[in-house]
Amino acid sequence: MNGKAIGIIFACLLLSACSDPKQAKLPADISKWSEDKGLMEAVGKLDESDKNLFAGYAARQVFGSAFGGNKVVPDSTLGDALKAQQAWIEAKAAEAEKQKALAEQVKQQKLDALKEMNGTLTASLLELKLNPADYKNKQYSEYFSIEIALQNNTSDALAGVKGTVVLTDMFGEVIKRIGLTNDSQIDPGKTYIYSGTMDYNQFQAEDKKLAAADKTKIKFDWEPDTYIFTNGKKQSMPK
């Protein structure tokens, strides 16, 4: 093979390499990318998938540079940018899967804890009413009184229970949520009647709605938080 033939082959190889748009260099100054004719022509030769990759990469670089980060590596090519963006997308997808798996795990833990705690204690609303002021007992304005039955369904005594009373209307809309803590012992298989009072605030929408609601149509729900047994055992909802 003579020198002329070798030169032609070499020229063809060089031309082929130069025609690969992914070999285009990225200017170190991101603000000059749109002004770089060679880079823009190279981007124009990419397929739609790669164009979208570069658009995402460029957006990240511009955003990062505005806050002093994401500097372009010297002598980076368009191909390097596409690889970097693809790697970033895959990393984000992997992180999203991890977060989803964690959320599912916590959700299942809550369901398991709720099932166990619902088996431990049954709560039932016995009475809810709005009472007039009772100056003798230092109730200087109208107030709510509430009675709730707490039944221990286990063979161990409960030293204390903590949870939230949720009162809703007949359509399921929450009227009021009330935190409840009871430290009176509930023996195995026994029921304790909790009696409490709440101030009535005429300026609070939830209190006004509760006062006006038909008490026979109010729905009661109990959200357990923590149960402590006299033997030291403890049940609690995952946070």
Question: If DSSP codes are grouped into helix, strand and coil, which group holds residue 224?
Answer: strand
Q: Has residue 232 been placed in a domain?
A: yes
What's residue 66's pLDDT?
64
What's residue 68's pLDDT?
60
Q: Has residue 137 been placed in a domain?
A: yes
What's residue 77's pLDDT?
92
pLDDT tens-place string over residues 88-127: 999 999 999 999 999 999 999 999 999 999 999 999 999 9
Asked if 168 and 175 count as a contact pair (C-beta separation under 8 A), the reply is yes
What's residue 16's pLDDT?
41
Q: Has residue 146 been placed in a domain?
A: yes
Q: Has residue 71 been placed in a domain?
A: no
Q: Has residue 167 been placed in a domain?
A: yes
Q: How far apart are CA 196 and CA 145, in angstroms?
A: 6
Q: Has residue 42 been placed in a domain?
A: no
**What is the domain extent for residue 182?**
120-236
CB atoms near residue 59 (< 10 Å) = 11
What tokens were used for 137? 């007992």
Total domains in the fold of the chain: 1
| DSSP structure string for 168-206 | E-TTS-EEEEEEEEE-S-B-TT-EEEEEEEEE--TTSHH
Q: Has residue 93 been placed in a domain?
A: no
Q: Has residue 94 been placed in a domain?
A: no
CATH code where residue 136 lies = 2.60.40
What's residue 91's pLDDT?
96
Nearest to 231 by CA among 180, 160, 170, 178: 160
Ranges of the chain whose pLDDT falls below 50: 2-17
pLDDT tens-place string over residues 207-225: 999 999 998 899 999 999 9
